[in-house]
Amino acid sequence: MSKNPVQLTIKTKHTQWIKEEAKRLGFLSCGISKAEFLEEEAPRLEAWLNANHHGQMQYMENHFDKRLDPTKLVDGARSVISVLLNYCPAETQNDPEAPKISKYAYGHDYHHVIKGKLKQLQEFITEEIGEVQGRAFVDSAPVLDKAWAAKSGLGWIGKHSNLLTQQVGSYYFIAELIVDLELEYDHPVTDHCGTCTACIDACPTQAIVDPHVVDGSKCISYFTIELKEELPASYKGQFDNWMFGCDVCQDVCPWNRFSKSHNEPLFNPHPELLAMTKKDWEEITQEVFSKVFQKSAVKRTKFSGLKRNIKFLE
């Protein structure tokens, strides 16, 4: 039995409105997929956890079913609206000798920036469409962001396990709104990594153990952000001068030649950040740390954590 054409028109209209509003709010792109159990991801996630690739990130073991089924996060969920927000900076740190910070952490903490935009998108949906139940997720709940973005046609999962998009690259954040509204769904795009292994070859700690599989417990981002204890001496000299996060697998990716700098003022770095020299970082005080990273994601490591990381690079 064919669907009512009026229903289809309304669904198309709603989908169009949401995508246009997402663009107006500054999102790079918006894709939508059906809220259903992620069948292909289940065995992958299970194998990844069983191999202890999450290291001491115990939280990854929690809510296994919720990670794979959005209807367990939002009652009656019908659609997952995925959005991308560019963070590629116009400039990077000036001193080539200085310890490095991942580009995503240059400006204000992305959690707050994106949450604000998603809240506006949610308000728009309520105003234009009616009482729609939903929740916004920004990398802080059991949601497999990259899997949903790929399912929504926003890119494909590269060999470094990040989402990649033609003409755009990968310097962007992923977030989603899970709603109980039926919309038109997008389709996944094809993989364009081909035979390239640039990311696998360049990883300083050989954390990409197989194409599309990253051993999180070997990743520089894990060591410099997630690990709370002393850094393992066996990795001394392998951090490629990264003190917070790591961009190596993205920096070497040919698709990032197409990246363009963001136009989100809140992602602009603190005026002092890019100018700090190697010596400035080595002598950083709590006062400077608090000033430069007042609204930054770098606060996650705390001053003591950043000092530990810098010392490890010496």
> Distance between CA atoms of 88 and 71, rounded to whole angstroms?
33
List the one residue out of 169, 149, 160 whose CA is nearest residue 260: 169
Which residues have C-beta within 8 Å of that of residue 158, sequence separation ≥ 6? 164, 170, 193, 199, 212, 253, 255
How many Cα atoms occupy the beta-carbon half-sphere of 129 within 13 Å? 25
- Is 247 annotated as catalytic? no
> Distance between CA atoms of 284 and 231, rounded to whole angstroms?
20
Catalytic one among 69, 95, 139, 240?
A: 139
How many Cα atoms occupy the beta-carbon half-sphere of 297 within 13 Å? 23
Catalytic sites, residue numbers: 139
